[in-house]
Amino acid sequence: MNSSGGNIYSKYKDLVFFTWNNGNEEEFGSFLQTIRDKNPNVQFQKLIGTNVPFLNAFVENQNGELFTPVYHHPILPRYTLPYVVGHSKLAHGDWFRSALIRAVCYCSSIEHFNLERIYLELTCLANGYSIFFVENNV
């Protein structure tokens, strides 16, 4: 994510996320209409609020400060490991390390990172992996 003049924007493939601090909602609507006029194939999902999910991040404005913990969809079951066939211990070790790297990249504070790390550790422990497995992969 990049910032410019209080605005935040991020791009992933054909998805774009940005915040609007330049004026009121009417000006924002006019800005979006200008984009639609220039390219009618562009589609928007406009979310207005102090927090929104974007991909696997939860972006939140807390009194003018941006916080981004990892987003966990509320409908998906918690503490569930991805399904793998074959060498599950190796695959779950790779998943665990990848999830930790994602947390480092997404989390805007040490507190959010530590909460995500604990969540990942508990996920492994709840699915029968030992504390040695968890510590070895951290």
| pLDDT of residue 135 exceeding 80 | yes
The mean per-residue pLDDT over the stretch 18-45 comes to 77
**Tokens 């074959």 sit on residue:** 86
pTM of the model: 0.70
Q: Is residue 81 part of a domain?
A: no
Specify if 69 maps to a domain.
Answer: no
pLDDT digits (tens, 9 = 90+) for 44-94: 777 777 788 877 888 887 777 778 888 888 888 888 888 877 778 888 989
What's the CA angle centered on 15, arms 74 and 119, to 5 degrees?
Answer: 30
Q: Is residue 41 one of the residues assigned to a domain?
A: yes
Question: Count of domains in the chain?
Answer: 2
- From residue 102, alpha-carbon distances to 76, 105, 120, 128 in Å are 18, 5, 11, 23
What is the pLDDT confidence band of residue 3, given thresholds at 50, 70 and 90?
very low
Share of the chain above pLDDT 90, in %: 21
Q: How far apart are the first and last CA of the chain?
A: 26
Q: Is residue 21 part of a domain?
A: yes
Residue 18: which domain range?
2-48
| pLDDT the model gives residue 22 | 62
30 within a domain of the structure (yes/no): yes
Chain mean pLDDT for the chain? 81
Contact yes or no for 7/20 (Cβ under 8 A): yes
- Tell me whether residue 11 is in a domain: yes
